[in-house]
Amino acid sequence: MSIDQSTAAKVAKLARIKVEDDALPALASEFNTILGFIEQLNEVDVEGVEPMVSVEPMRLKRREDVVTDGSQQDKVLANAPDAREGFFAVPKVVE
C-alpha cells in the first residue's frame, strides 16, 4: 500500500489538521515509511483469532443512573478560549 499526495491530503482533512500543499510530499513519504513498517503484520496468521478489545476480559462496569455532579457552569467554561454569556463561542456554523 502506497500513499500518494492526494491520500495524504484526505487524511489531513479527516484529522482536521491543516497541511500546506508544499508539505504534502514529505508527509506522504513519512506515512509510507510507517505503513511499510506496519505491513509486517501481514506475515502473521490471524485466522480465527479474536481482536483484543481490552487486556482484562471484563465487561465495563456501569454506574448507577443518578446525577453525580452538575451546576459547575463557571468551572466548565473557565478554560475556554472564548466563552460568552455562559456558552462556548465558535465561528458561525449555520448560514
What is the DSSP annotation of the chain?
----HHHHHHHHHHTT----GGGHHHHHHHHHHHHHHHGGGGGS--TTPPPPS-SS--PPP---SS------HHHHHTT-SSEETTEE--S----
Stretch 68-87 residues interacting with another protein (CB under 8 A): 72, 75-76, 78-82
* 88 interacts with another protein by CB under 8 A: yes
Amino acid at 86: G
x/- string (CB under 8 A) for another protein, residues 26-45? Answer: -x--xx-xxx-xxxxxxxx-
- Shortest reach from residue 82's CB to another protein, in Å: 7
- Quote the least distance from Cβ 5 to another protein, whole Å: 13
* Choice from 2, 14, 22, 71 touching another protein (CB under 8 A): 14
Q: Does 18 bind another protein (CB under 8 A)?
A: yes
